[in-house]
Amino acid sequence: MSVPVWNPAVEFMEREALERLQLTRLRQTVAWALKTPFYRRRLAEVGLTHPEDLGSLRDLRKLPYTTKDDLRAAFPDGLLAVDLERTVRLHTSSGTTGMPTVIYHTRPDLDHWTELVARCIVAAGATARDVFQNMTNYGMFTGGLGLHYGAERVGMLVIPVSSGNTGRQIHLMRNFQTTVVHATPSYLLHLHAALAGEGVTVDQLRLRKAFIGAEPHSEETRRKIEALFGIQAYNSYGLSEMNGPGVAFECVHQTGLHLWEDAYMLEIIDPGTLQPLPEGQTGEIVMTTLQRQATPLLRYRTRDLSHLVSGNCPCGRTHRRLARIKGRSDDMLIVNGVNVFPSQIEDVLMKTPEVGTNYLIQLEKRGSLDRLVVKTEIYAKLFTGDPRTLDDLRERIGEALRSAILIKPTVELHEPGSLPVSEGKAKRVVDLRPAF
Which residues of the shown chain bind ligand DLL in the complex (CB under 6 A)? 93-94, 136, 142-143, 213-216, 235-240, 244-245, 302, 304, 325, 328, 334, 339
Minimum CB distance to ligand DLL, residue 165 (Å): 19
For residue 68, the Cα-to-chain-centroid distance in whole angstroms is 13
C-beta of 15 vs 326, nearer to ligand DLL: 326
- Cβ atoms of residues 327 and 287 within 8 Å: no
C-beta of 195 vs 305, nearer to ligand DLL: 305
What's the full length of the chain, in residues? 436
The DSSP result for 278-333, as a single string, is PTT--EEEEEEESS-SSS--SSEEEEEEE-EEPS--TT---S-EE----EESS--E
Minimum CB distance to ligand DLL, residue 120 (Å): 10
C-beta of 29 vs 302, nearer to ligand DLL: 302
Minimum CB distance to ligand DLL, residue 245 (Å): 4
Minimum CB distance to ligand DLL, residue 239 (Å): 4
C-beta of 333 vs 361, nearer to ligand DLL: 333
C-beta of 302 vs 362, nearer to ligand DLL: 302
C-beta of 215 vs 261, nearer to ligand DLL: 215
Minimum CB distance to ligand DLL, residue 143 (Å): 3
Cα 193 from Cα 366, distance rounded (Å): 12
Three-state secondary-structure class, residue 236: strand
C-beta of 93 vs 178, nearer to ligand DLL: 93
Which long-range CB contacts under 8 A does 59-64 form with residues at least 24 apart? 60/26, 60/265, 60/267, 60/288, 60/299, 61/276, 63/30, 63/288, 63/298, 63/299, 64/298, 64/299
Give 262's Cβ-side CA count (13 Å radius): 20
- Among residues 259, 218, 219, the alpha carbon closest in space to that of 238 is found at 259
**One-letter amino acid of 197:** G
C-beta of 329 vs 352, nearer to ligand DLL: 329
Contacts of 313 (CB under 8 A, 6+ apart): 251, 253, 255, 256, 258, 321
Minimum CB distance to ligand DLL, residue 244 (Å): 4
Instruction: Quote the DSSP letter at residue 349.
Output: H
Rounded to whole angstroms, what are the CA distances from 95 to 21, 102, 287, 360, 407? Answer: 36, 13, 22, 19, 8
Contacts of 179 (CB under 8 A, 6+ apart): 126, 129, 130, 131, 132, 206, 207, 208, 209
C-beta of 50 vs 402, nearer to ligand DLL: 402
Minimum CB distance to ligand DLL, residue 204 (Å): 27
Minimum CB distance to ligand DLL, residue 339 (Å): 5
C-beta of 234 vs 359, nearer to ligand DLL: 234
Rounded to whole angstroms, what are the CA distances from 168 to 161, 200, 338, 360? Answer: 9, 12, 22, 35
Minimum CB distance to ligand DLL, residue 378 (Å): 32
Minimum CB distance to ligand DLL, residue 361 (Å): 18
Beta bridge partners of 333: 340
Minimum CB distance to ligand DLL, residue 343 (Å): 17
Three-state secondary-structure class, residue 1: coil
C-beta of 136 vs 291, nearer to ligand DLL: 136
Cα 63 from Cα 43, distance rounded (Å): 7
